[in-house]
């Protein structure tokens, strides 16, 4: 059974005691890594933390820290203890890699089992996991959790929509894990195949996450499929999914505070904000062995929700993520920094200096388009050459980003230049049309 009543409904004071004890153990463990060993060698960070709020005197850890310490700078155990590596998408230069020992994987599986159990998933369910398997944490994370619950798991991964529907129908799947954008797109295939999910399937629950989505999107999926949809939040730096999850009340996501210590900070000043104010979520791992992270800046914007949750769990809830404090874009679940697009385009000699990035919604999926000027000194001006160049740019971007954008080549100096900071990213996903 994965209803850990004692810990999930623990009295706040007891929970704080547990967190403090785990925090100090975690700091000791972190010091074994090259990165924290160096950072904590100064005596002021070396003392035991006596009160949780004293954590704020320790500096943040950032994504750049992880990249600069690639590959093993954050590893806190011997390599022979490590059994798994995951990596976040959306990297410029070195990827961020995260290591797990056998007990890290075990704890993560328990957490996902807890999340699934919370929403009513039981042994008799059939779980079709439509999230990507591989370096991305969505697929394998849920896979291990579902197996712990004893639920038959179909590791189908994303895409191949007609086959997905065939499996859903034939295997009588009751639970799915899916990107919200894909859930909406998949629906158009139901229409094409004349399958009515409400009439012809046995689905009752979906877990959605990995990309920002609104309450309206959740409601829409619930309505189309006739199921309950729960928001799942996580990031590969913490483990992946399983950091915060909605309970049956569907009003905010409980952060599993026995394993993660959350803070909300002002992204500009770095100050810890009073409860209820919106800011950036900072997380500290409390039980990770291979790679503890201290005050990791997630860049995700949210707030703590006030009051107690009617479900009885005492772990604090965060509001759904409303955006990010950096320029990272999430395109159908894949993380992309605009600088990756710039770097890739500028490495092609026939490409000029200026470019624009637009993102739209098309059949519920994110569509990335890039408009870029050609370099007239290199470009000879034939149509065949233009087509070749376009193909080259698309292929280079696909390799770098892991998603395929559409590329439109335009004449030199024809794109607008702004005074001051260039605005190159136009996100029209909330409904506006854009120009590409």
Q: Residue 435 Cβ, how far from ligand AMP at the closest point, in Å?
A: 27
Strand partners, 206: 176, 229
Pairing type for strands 425-427 and 351-362 reads parallel
Query: Nearest distance from residue 66's CB to ligand AMP, in Å?
Result: 11
Is residue 75 close enough to count as binding Zn ion by CB under 5 A? Answer: no
235 binds, among ligand AMP, Zn ion, none (CB under 5 to 8 A by kind): ligand AMP
Contact yes or no for 205/227 (Cβ under 8 A): yes
State the nearest-atom distance from the C-beta of 309 to ligand AMP, in Å.
17
Closer of 68 and 413 to ligand AMP (Cβ): 68
**Applying CB under 5 A, does 305 fall inside the site for Zn ion?**
no
**Binds Zn ion (CB under 5 A): choice among 55, 309, 330, 389:** 309
3-state secondary structure of 2: coil
Counting contacts by CB under 5 A, is residue 316 touching Zn ion?
Answer: no
Q: Does residue number 247 form part of the binding site for Zn ion (CB under 5 A)? A: yes
- What the block records as the tokens of 381 is 């001006």
**What beta strand segments (E) does 43-95 contain?**
82-87
Nearer to Zn ion, 99 or 260 (CB): 260
Phi, psi values for residue 151, rounded to 5°: -95, 135
Nearest in space to 251 (alpha carbons), one of 208, 211, 308: 308
- 102 within 8 A of 232, measured Cβ to Cβ: no
Closest approach of ligand AMP to the CB of residue 37, in Å: 25
Question: In this chain, which stretch among 19-27, 97-105, 239-247, 365-373 interacts with Zn ion, using CB under 5 A?
Answer: 239-247
Q: What does 332 interact with, of Zn ion, ligand AMP, none (CB < 5 to 8 A by kind)?
A: none
Task: Report the residue number, 314 or 325, with the smaller CB distance to ligand AMP.
Answer: 325
Contact 339, 186 (CB under 8 A): no
Closest CB 63 distance from Zn ion, rounded Å: 30
Q: How far is CA 141 from CA 100, 235, 426, in A?
A: 12, 11, 33
Closer Cβ to ligand AMP, 116 or 330, answer by number: 330
Picked from ligand AMP, Zn ion, none, the partner binding residue 313 (CB below 5 to 8 A depending on kind) is Zn ion
The C-alpha R_g of the chain, in whole angstroms, comes to 23
Q: Does 10 bind Zn ion (CB under 5 A)?
A: no
Q: Which residues here bind ligand AMP, judged by CB under 6 A?
A: 88-89, 137, 209-212, 231-236, 240, 298, 300, 321, 324, 330, 335
Q: Which residues in 162-181 contact Zn ion (CB under 5 A)?
A: none
**In sequence order, what are the residues at sequence separation of 6 or more whose Cβ sits closer than 8 angstroms to the Cβ of residue 42?**
none
Instruction: Render 346-373 in DSSP notation, one character per residue.
Output: HTSTTEEEEEEEEEEEETTEEEEEEEEE
Decide if residue 135 touches Zn ion (CB under 5 A).
Answer: no
Q: Are the C-beta atoms of residues 173 and 199 closer than 8 Å to each other?
A: no
Tokens of 149: 């619950």
**From CA 306, how far away is CA 324, in angstroms rounded?**
22
273 makes contact with Zn ion (CB under 5 A): no
The least CB distance from residue 300 to ligand AMP, in Å, is 5
User: What CA–CA distances, in Å, run from 57 to 34, 206, 270, 280, 286?
Assistant: 20, 40, 11, 17, 17
189-195-196-200 Cα dihedral, nearest 10 degrees: -140
- Smallest gap, in angstroms, from Cβ of residue 340 to ligand AMP? 14
Q: Where are the alpha helices (DSSP H) in 31-149?
A: 34-39, 63-68, 102-118, 137-149
Stretch that binds Zn ion, among 138-146, 163-171, 310-318, 395-403 (CB under 5 A): 310-318
Residue from 273, 305, 311, 394 binding Zn ion (CB under 5 A) = 311
The residue from 107, 143, 313, 367 that contacts Zn ion (CB under 5 A) is 313
Q: Pick one of Zn ion, ligand AMP, none as the site partner of residue 212 (Cβ within 5 to 8 A by kind).
A: ligand AMP
Contact residues for Zn ion, defined by CB under 5 A: 247, 249, 309, 311, 313
């Amino acid at each position: 059974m994965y209803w850990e009543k004692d810990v999930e409904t623990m009295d706040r004071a007891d929970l704080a005691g547990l967190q403090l004890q785990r925090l100090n153990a975690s700091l000791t463990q972190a010091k074994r890594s090259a990165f924290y060993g160096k950072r904590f060698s100064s005596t002021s960070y070396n003392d035991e933390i006596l009160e949780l709020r004293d954590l704020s005197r320790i500096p943040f850890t950032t994504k750049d820290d992880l990249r600069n310490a690639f590959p093993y700078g954050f590893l806190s155990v011997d390599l022979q203890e490590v059994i798994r590596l995951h990596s976040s998408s959306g990297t410029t230069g070195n990827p961020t890699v995260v290591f797990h020992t056998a007990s890290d994987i075990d704890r993560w599986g328990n957490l996902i089992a807890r999340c699934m159990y919370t929403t009513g998933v039981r042994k008799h369910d059939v779980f079709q996991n439509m999230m990507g398997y591989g370096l991305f944490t969505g697929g394998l994370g849920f896979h291990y959790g579902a197996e712990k619950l004893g639920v038959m798991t179909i590791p189908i991964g994303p895409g191949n929509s007609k086959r997905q529907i065939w499996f859903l129908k034939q295997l009588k799947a009751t639970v799915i894990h899916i990107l919200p954008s894909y859930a909406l797109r998949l629906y158009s295939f139901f229409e094409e195949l004349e399958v009515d999910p409400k009439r012809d399937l046995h689905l009752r629950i979906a877990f959605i996450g990995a990309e920002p989505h609104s309450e309206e999107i959740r409601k829409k999926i619930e309505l189309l499929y006739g199921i309950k949809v729960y928001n799942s939040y996580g990031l590969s730096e913490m483990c992946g999914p399983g950091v915060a999850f909605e309970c049956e009340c569907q009003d905010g996501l409980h952060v599993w505070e026995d394993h993660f210590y959350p803070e909300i900070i002002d992204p500009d000043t770095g100050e810890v904000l009073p409860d209820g104010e919106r800011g950036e979520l900072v997380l500290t791992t409390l039980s990770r062995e291979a790679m503890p992270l201290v005050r990791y800046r997630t860049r995700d914007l949210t707030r703590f929700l006030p009051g107690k949750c009617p479900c009885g769990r005492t772990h604090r809830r965060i509001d759904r993520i409303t955006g990010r404090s950096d320029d990272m874009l999430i395109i159908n679940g894949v993380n992309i920094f605009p600088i990756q697009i710039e770097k890739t385009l500028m490495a092609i000699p026939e490409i000029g200096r200026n470019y624009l990035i637009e993102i739209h919604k098309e059949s519920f999926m994110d569509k990335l388009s890039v408009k870029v000027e050609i370099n007239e000194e290199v470009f000879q001006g034939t149509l065949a050459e233009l087509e070749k160049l376009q193909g080259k740019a698309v292929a280079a971007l696909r390799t770098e980003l892991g998603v395929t954008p559409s590329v439109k080549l335009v004449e030199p100096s024809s794109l607008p230049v702004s005074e001051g900071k260039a605005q190159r990213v136009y996100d029209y996903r909330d409904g506006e049309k854009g120009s590409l």
